[in-house]
Structure 1
Amino acid sequence: MKYVLLGLCLLLNAGAALAQKKNVQAAPTIPFTLACTSPVAANALQKQYCETRDLTLPAPPAGTALTIDARVNGGISVRAWAGSTVQVRALVVGRAATPEAAKALAAAVQVATQNNLLRAARANEVLDGWSVDYEVLVPAQTDVVLKAVNGSLSVEGVSGNIRLETTNGGLTLRNVNGNVRAQTTNGPVSIALAGPGWLGPGLEAATVNGSVEWQLPAVYAGTLLARTTRGKVSAELNTKRKSVLPHNLAATLGKGGAQLKVSTVNGSIAVRQPAETAAPPADPAE
């Protein structure tokens, strides 16, 4: 009888462990793409050393933005992912006269996080000879502020209060929504939207010296405004409610909606929608 009871206990424990295992969801894979390439000379007189550092941060509370400051040299890419935390890969590069000095310079760079602010610096605040690029994965509903000077900024799949500001670098917006404001001085702007229409207050993206490429789904709802000073505007849109002039565009897509604005001074603007696919004819047999 004792052995029978022992066997029953073992079976019950095994069943409970199996049920618990089924209820535990596997953590989502962290799909980082940022990686160091083979060591190369920064220029004829400098060597380069590169390393990556991975960090995990709590997602900022609602109403609080995650701010990422790439300082003087560095770009930022932010993407939505299925996890509930913020995952960061920082690619740190040092440049110096010798490989050893470049490695020491990179090692001296500190990537710090405090109060939902991510930034890098050397202890003595020297900005020369090093750079940090960031690849950041955030929950889809996250407010973000991205800052750079010599670097590009990119956001994909995120909805919220989004602010992008750089001086020498391009801007890329993919499948974003919310209240989005993005600006650069020297760099192109690339926008590709998805879904049936814009969700949120609107979009405003601007550059001074750069072109704008804007892609929309075949069926989309929104109010488009585009303006350039010394370039041309071209538009292929699935609507008759549009005004296309050499330097300006105003169009209403679908039932209209949030105001989506782009502008440049020295550059052209191209806005494109693919042709709508006609619905297949009904089957008479149905």
Structure 2
Amino acid sequence: MKYPLLALLLALAGPVAAQTPAAPAFQLQCEVNATTQLRKTYCETRDLTLPAPPAGTALSVDARLNGNITVRGWDASTVRVRALVRASSGELAAAQALAASVRISTANHQVQAARANGSLDDWSVSYEVLVPTRTSLALHATNGGLHLENVQGTITFETTNGSVQLLNLAGDVRGKTTNGSVALMLSGPTWDGTGFDVQTTSGSVQCRLPTTYAATLTARTTNGRVTAKLAPATRKQLLPRSLTATFGKGGPQLRLATVNGSVDVQQSDASSSSAPGKE
């Protein structure tokens, strides 16, 4: 062979490249800019890559004042962020300049945005974040929804006006929204971790879990009704405004609550279940 060393290097490079996980495609995209005679809207996306926080440190994402947050776990050791920046003004050029003035910081494992002059008017940033599956999180929003999927860790979240969707989480999960619904989907044999405690003030709560799940769940409402469709073997105490259920042999404590809204808990086979809030 004329180039034996080169051939050897190429042969070795193939398997190494194949082991690199492919990043999921970002789903956050700019929509068609809304314009009126008085207001013009400009939107752009920015993609960032940053190191994962060390064990014991949470990745903080702050979307206040107006912005949504989506976090999805993936099989990698880095964090990828797509920030969607939207700005509006009387003229399109002014809206573009306003968006350009928004700076996104990732220092100290804290993702947040600010305008150069400190004003919060007429701009917003939403985030889609891909994190290693085992990552602790601290999420904050005001007028925006939260979506978390396939993440395990110490997770806290809070929003004021926005719905919350939690899919296939694990660890110690605690959070709340004030005006918004909560939808929870569980998978696997049991909750892997300390448990969760999630609540809303004004909004419905939905929970879906497998018929073979093992855990202890309490769900309650103050002004609403609790309904449940559970496997025959599930031990339960179902009252109009509360549910206490032991699934399988029991396990970590899972708590769901609302003040003004209904609560619905259902067990079903994985093959026939659908994501809560998508029925």
Output the TM-score relative to the length of structure 2.
0.93
1:183-229 Cα deviation digits (max 9, x unpaired): 01000001001110001111111000000011111210000100100
* Identical pairs, percent: 51
Larger radius of gyration: 1
Hey, what's the Cα distance between the residues in 1 that align with 2:208 and 2:246? 15
Deviation, structure 1 residue 62: 0.4
Hey, what's the Cα distance between the residues in 2 that align with 1:36 and 1:54? 13
Q: Which residue of 2 aligns with 1:74?
A: 67
* Change in CA separation of 1:16 and 1:107 when aligned onto 2, cut-off 3 Å: closer
The number of residues matched between the two structures is 269
Aligned-partner SS, 1:252: strand
Deviation, structure 1 residue 265: 0.5
Gaps of 5+ in 2: 272-279
Q: Which residue of 1 aligns with 2:188?
A: 195
Q: Which residue of 2 aligns with 1:173?
A: 166
8 Å CA contact 2:21, 2:75 repeated in 1: no
Q: Which residue of 1 aligns with 2:225?
A: 232
Deviation, structure 1 residue 182: 1.3
Moved over 6 A (4+): none
Greater mean alpha carbon deviation, residues 254-263 or residues 232-241: 232-241
Determine if the alignment matches structure 1 residue 245 to structure 2 residue 271.
no
Q: Which residue of 2 aligns with 1:266?
A: 260
Hey, what's the Cα distance between the residues in 1 that align with 2:9 and 2:2? 11
Hey, what's the Cα distance between the residues in 2 that align with 1:183 and 1:173? 12
Hey, what's the Cα distance between the residues in 2 that align with 1:68 and 1:29? 20
8 Å CA contact 1:219, 1:276 repeated in 2: no
Hey, what's the Cα distance between the residues in 2 that align with 1:39 and 1:251? 48
Deviation, structure 1 residue 71: 1.4
Aligned-partner SS, 1:29: coil
Output the TM-score relative to the length of structure 1.
0.91
Q: Which residue of 1 aligns with 2:54?
A: 61
Gaps of 5+ in 1: 1-7, 278-286
Greater mean alpha carbon deviation, residues 31-40 or residues 85-94: 31-40
